[in-house]
């Protein structure tokens, strides 16, 4: 379980996160939603330990990341898998080498074991045929999927995905959502996904946090999100024609 308490972050005096708290349960796909520039990526970076918040705590099963020593930090990091907004693949390595990389660096497995494991993960994202291509030779959506394969190769306890399906066609994006949910459920991972895709929100949002201008304005599930009365969230939701029609038909 991941618990965040009262996270505050400002850049040059401009407050980006203003006291965000929340709990993320294992086996659940938790979503962080909100408009562009509301601090979702910054919050995720505070959680995974890339940006130090001015104040607040990030607890991984009770272990505080930011007040921990270097060993605690490393131990926690080795239990997480992160998919970055742009995929963040290493350009000098092939797809397979990218996925195998964490195994190379952090385990003592034999070469065959590592390749087998990497290929298994590539198969999960349906990219076993692209194993020997370079990142520059694959499409944006494929990069995201390779990023997911790399994030899950070490069997993480915590999985973080920053916009796993932005810029993908609706079909692929549903597939990726399903994959994330499947993995989360299968291995009882604590998963946090950032998205502004309403399809994902309604599809996999077992636990949703809505950010607006650095504040958490709403929290709930995909069951009750359409009944919200928070004006900012309504605006966010009903900017989509599809959702507006759904709401009308529900009435």
Partner 1 sequence: MDLLTRVGRYFIFISLLFTRREKIGVYVKQILEEAVAIGIDSIFIVSIVSTFIGAVTCVQTAYNLVSPFIPDYVISLIVRDMTLLELAPTITCIVLAGKVGSNIASGLGTMRISEQIDALEVMGLNSASYLVLPKIVAAVLVFPMLITIAGFLSIWGGYVAGTLTGAITPEDYVYGIRADFIPFNVPFALIKTVVFAFLITSISAFRGYYTEGGALEVGKASTTAVTNSCIAVLVADYLLAQLLL
For residue 244, CA distances in Å to 50, 60, 85, 171, 198 come to 37, 38, 28, 21, 11
- Which of 38, 94, 98, 191 binds ligand ATP (CB under 6 A)? It is 38
Using alpha carbons, select from 245, 247, 211, 207 the residue that is nearest to residue 226. 247
Using the minimum distance from each CB to ligand ATP, give the nearer residue, 14 or 251.
14
- Is residue 52 involved in binding partner 1 (CB under 8 A)? no
- Which of 106, 116, 123, 231 binds partner 1 (CB under 8 A)? It is 106
End-to-end CA distance of the chain: 37
- Is residue 39 involved in binding ligand ATP (CB under 6 A)? yes
Q: 195-214: which residues touch ligand ATP (CB under 6 A)?
A: 196
Residues β-bridged to residue 4: 22, 58
Q: Which range, of 37-45, 59-67, 72-80, 202-210, touches ligand ATP by CB under 6 A?
A: 37-45
- Is residue 242 involved in binding partner 1 (CB under 8 A)? no
Contact 51, 45 (CB under 8 A): yes
Q: In what order do the strands lie in the sheet with 2-11?
A: 14-24, 2-11, 55-60, 63-64
The residues that touch ligand ATP, with contacts defined as CB under 6 A, are: 11, 16, 34, 36-42, 196
The residues that touch partner 1, with contacts defined as CB under 8 A, are: 45, 48-50, 70, 73-75, 77-78, 80, 82, 84-86, 88-91, 102, 104-106
């Amino acid at each position: 379980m991941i618990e965040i308490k009262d996270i505050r972050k400002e850049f040059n005096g401009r407050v980006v996160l203003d006291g965000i708290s929340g709990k993320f349960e294992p086996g659940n796909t938790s979503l962080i939603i909100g408009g562009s520039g509301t601090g979702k990526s910054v919050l995720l970076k505070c959680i995974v330990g890339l940006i130090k918040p001015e104040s607040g705590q990030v607890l991984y099963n009770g272990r505080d990341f930011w007040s921990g020593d270097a060993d605690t930090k490393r131990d926690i990091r080795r239990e997480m898998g992160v998919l970055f907004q742009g995929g963040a693949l290493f350009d000098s390595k092939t797809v397979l080498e990218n996925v195998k990389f964490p195994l190379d660096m952090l385990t003592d497995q034999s070469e065959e074991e590592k390749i087998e494991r990497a290929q298994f993960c590539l198969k999960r994202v349906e990219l076993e045929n692209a194993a020997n291509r370079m990142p520059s030779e694959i499409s944006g959506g494929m990069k995201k999927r390779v990023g997911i394969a790399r994030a899950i190769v070490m069997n993480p306890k915590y999985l973080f995905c920053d916009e796993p399906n932005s810029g993908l066609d609706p079909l692929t994006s549903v597939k990726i959502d399903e994959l994330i949910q499947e993995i989360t459920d299968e291995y009882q991972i604590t998963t946090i996904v950032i998205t502004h895709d309403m399809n994902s929100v309604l599809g996999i949002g077992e636990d949703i946090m809505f950010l607006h201008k650095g504040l958490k304005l709403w929290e709930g599930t995909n069951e009750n999100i359409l009944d919200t009365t928070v004006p900012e969230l309504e605006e966010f939701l009903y900017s989509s024609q599809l959702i507006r029609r759904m709401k009308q038909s529900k009435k």
